[in-house]
Amino acid sequence: MAAAETIRAEDAPRAPRGDAGGLPARLRHETASLHAQVEASTGLPGSVRSRAEYVTLLQRLHGFHSAVEARLAHPDWAEGWARLGIDLVGHGRSTLLAQDLGQLGSAVPARPAVLGDIDSFPGALGCLYVTEGSSLGGRIIGPAIRATIGEVPTGFFESAGRQHPSPWRALTQALRRFGDEGGDADAVIGGARSTFLAFEAQVASTQAPAVAR
């Protein structure tokens, strides 16, 4: 079975984003080096060479995504999401992780990840940019993992049932509107940067916490 060692984001098809100006373009530009860093430190998809390694990866991702979903659902921010037309449920993916783990006969870890300082609505918007953006690469990573380790459930990576690219499009429209209305763009970028780093600490193989069996 051919091992798909490395896939680089810049080789992949571009995600739709309408006119590329405004806050979405700033986010992309100012977090590009962190994107490359997490790509390198996770080593995906080549770092998954067995079913057991795949289960460990999904358990760590579940710890991260469930922590993010709990934080973004903070009641103080509900009005902010509604005003920007963001439906948080549509952006959540921890359920897909739990389903994949269930099909693999594995436990869903109880301990959520430790997130960086996402303590403002602009910071939360930056955090959502990272988690929703990461689904774009997932559509490449899922098939590559199956090409290496055989038939495994990849509902999470392939965003099963999420009507791609609607969630991404809805988010880039909300980001553009937030920026155009004079929202705190620096705080959005700060939230995105600390979320990339929290992801790396939780998921990238070397420093990620061991998962309880």
Give contact residues for ligand HEM (rule: CB under 6 A).
7, 9, 12, 14-15, 24, 27-28, 35, 38-39, 42, 44, 129-130, 133-134, 136-137, 140-141, 196, 199
Nearer to ligand HEM, 112 or 137 (CB): 137
CA-only gyration radius of the chain, Å: 17
Residue 125 has which token pair?
């918007």
Nearer to ligand HEM, 17 or 55 (CB): 17
CA distance 48 to 51: 8
Least distance in angstroms from the C-beta of 19 to ligand HEM: 13
| Residue 191 phi, psi dihedral angles, 5° rounding | -65, -40
Nearer to ligand HEM, 36 or 78 (CB): 36
Least distance in angstroms from the C-beta of 130 to ligand HEM: 5
Q: 199 near 64, Cβ under 8 Å?
A: yes
Least distance in angstroms from the C-beta of 117 to ligand HEM: 17
Least distance in angstroms from the C-beta of 41 to ligand HEM: 9
Which residues face 6 on adjacent strands? Answer: 45
Least distance in angstroms from the C-beta of 105 to ligand HEM: 26
**Nearest to 84, CA basis, from 32, 17, 129:** 129
Nearer to ligand HEM, 12 or 70 (CB): 12
Task: Give the three-class secondary structure for 199.
Answer: helix
Nearer to ligand HEM, 40 or 78 (CB): 40
CA distance 190 to 129: 11
